[in-house]
Amino acid sequence: MSNSFIASRYFGNLTILFVATGLLFFSSCKKPEDTPEEKTGKIVFHFTQYNEGAPQRYDTMKYVNAAGNHYLVSEIQYFVSDVKLHRADGGAQLLDQWEDIHYVDTDLEDTQEWKVYDPVEAGDYDKITFTFGICEEKNQSLMFLNPPERDMFWPEYLGGGYHYMKLNGKWLSSDGMVKPFNFHLGIGQIYAGGVIDPDSITGFVQNYFEVELPASSFGINAGETKEFEVRMNVENWFQHPHVYDHDVWGGDIMQKQDAMKLGCENGKEDVFSFGEWKGDN
């Protein structure tokens, strides 16, 4: 074999090596703008409580409901779950990649902000809905092992699982006495013969309900974080579409399905409103 042939083959292989190395170098140094653009944004919910158009004040007998009851609110705790973002094309995104049940407590400030883990596809959305409380499939006893969620347990003999809400306070009753009320919503019971006794329970009623936040359409861009306010208008638990009278229903309603039904129907009507978050007032 001649020396010229060997040299030709050597330099040919070397040329191939240089070309391959160059291609690898340029592919690894691709400019950032050539990478696929991020196509999602993020959402933060802020949960607030208002009464008669102003931030809820606690432990002061300054409110009068539609039935004429003077009352105060001491605390509110509740669950929202299965939040859905409904797209303009008819599809929907369920926010459940990390947290599908969120607990809100007026005594715990950190619970009043929910930084949603799920990335949200950029685009336009028609509305936001959520379940108030926890659906039957998920509302299982002992799923929360630590407070404060653990302390929302609903007695096993009354259906188990967890409260949807505890709205606690006091009212000035018709006999002039200040009495405590526990406006608690959760699983209802059906009693044989209408006798309220655990031994006469014949069935249970799932009282959770879906809330469609009014005027909750929005658009979100890639890389954008949207912050929204979900406002509870506390007075509306007691007035629309049903006038709720503490003198009629008394202080405890966990075993009074008729009272809880009124509360849930009022809650679905107009308790919650929605808007862009503008910061603390």
| Counted domains in the chain | 2
Say whether both 176 and 255 belong to one domain: yes
Closest among 228, 233, 277, 214 to 50, alpha carbons compared = 233
Residue 93 domain-assigned? yes
Say whether both 88 and 153 belong to one domain: yes
Q: pLDDT value at position 23?
A: 38
Residue 50 domain-assigned? yes
Q: What is the rounded average pLDDT for all residues in the chain?
A: 89
Say whether both 69 and 131 belong to one domain: yes
Q: Taking a C-beta distance cutoff of 8 angstroms, is the pair 162, 80 a contact?
A: no
Q: pLDDT value at position 38?
A: 72
Q: Quote the CA–CA distance of 251 and 84 in Å, as a whole number.
A: 34
Residue 147 domain-assigned? yes
- Alpha carbon dihedral 227, 208, 183, 80, in 10-degree steps, equals -20
Say whether both 14 and 83 belong to one domain: no
Say whether both 25 and 87 belong to one domain: no
Say whether both 161 and 26 belong to one domain: no
Q: pLDDT value at position 12?
A: 45
Q: Which residues contact 29 (CB under 8 A, 6 or more apart)?
A: none
Q: Which domain holds residue 91?
A: 40-276
Say whether both 19 and 112 belong to one domain: no
Say whether both 8 and 87 belong to one domain: no
Strand pairing category for 101-105 and 70-87:
antiparallel
Say whether both 208 and 85 belong to one domain: yes
123: left (phi over 0), alpha (psi -120 to 50) or beta: left
Q: Taking a C-beta distance cutoff of 8 angstroms, is the pair 54, 235 a contact?
A: no
Q: Taking a C-beta distance cutoff of 8 angstroms, is the pair 216, 127 a contact?
A: yes
Side chain identity at 167, as an amino acid letter?
L
Q: Quote the CA–CA distance of 74 and 77 in Å, as a whole number.
A: 11
From first to last of the 281 residues of the chain, give the pLDDT tens digit: 444 433 344 334 434 333 344 433 334 434 444 444 579 999 999 999 999 999 999 999 999 999 999 999 999 999 999 999 999 888 999 999 889 999 999 999 999 999 999 999 999 999 999 999 999 999 999 999 999 999 999 999 999 999 999 999 999 999 999 999 999 999 999 999 888 999 999 999 999 999 999 999 999 999 999 999 999 999 999 999 999 999 999 999 999 999 999 999 999 999 999 999 988 75
Closest among 271, 274, 268, 124 to 214, alpha carbons compared = 274
Residue 28 domain-assigned? yes
Determine phi and psi for 264, rounding to 5 degrees: -65, -40
Say whether both 232 and 103 belong to one domain: yes
Q: Taking a C-beta distance cutoff of 8 angstroms, is the pair 232, 165 a contact?
A: no
Q: pLDDT value at position 21?
A: 41
Closest among 112, 238, 125 to 185, alpha carbons compared = 238
Q: pLDDT value at position 193?
A: 87
Residue 281 domain-assigned? no
Say whether both 30 and 131 belong to one domain: no
Q: pLDDT value at position 281?
A: 54
Which contacts of 147-155 are long-range, i.e. CB under 8 A and separated by 24 or more positions? 148/77, 148/103, 148/105, 148/108, 148/111, 149/103, 152/77, 152/79, 152/103, 154/186, 154/187, 154/254, 155/254
Q: pTM score, two decimals?
A: 0.85
Say whether both 150 and 117 belong to one domain: yes
Residue 79 domain-assigned? yes
Q: pLDDT value at position 88?
A: 85
Q: What is the 3-state secondary structure (H, E, C) of 240-278?
A: CCCCCCHHHHCCECCCCHHHHHHHHHHHHHHCEEEEECC
What is the chain's length?
281
